[in-house]
Structure 1
């Protein structure tokens, strides 16, 4: 079963990362205030990033990975700035 990971930009400028099997339905739920508690208080939301996976468990794993990222790293992903994404992925200890 296909899975998706997505990033929404909320009305307050924050990002919400989620995963689902049905992206259209999930976006409608978020927009209707029936999605996650986080997005309910920050409507409207806008889809700014989407990845498709062949299995939902892969999308869930990717969701958890992205949720741990900094705002700058998420923005690099959204903007498809892969050079910056690689730079932001380097461990602090590897910079010296």
Structure 2
């Protein structure tokens, strides 16, 4: 029975799993740190961009990316709260 549990829920950290965790955390850190620079550059170049005929398109993408980042941050905070408080959720049922 113990072998079945170990097969279904491995407790050891394999190199593939370790690389997956490292890549996920690296992606999250880069994702969060790049946005302030993107926001700043957009704000600095906004006046010159308004003169371009494609400004509505670039402005739409800017708003879309802002919305995506806000959604990602809320989703990340929700996942962190679920992981943090999961022991309280499992004892209720």
**TM-score of the pair, normalised by structure 1:** 0.24
Which of the pair has more CA radius of gyration? 2
Which of the two has greater strand per residue? 1
Larger helix fraction of residues: 2
Q: Which has the higher contact order (CA 8 A, sep 6+)?
A: 1
TM-score by length of 2: 0.24
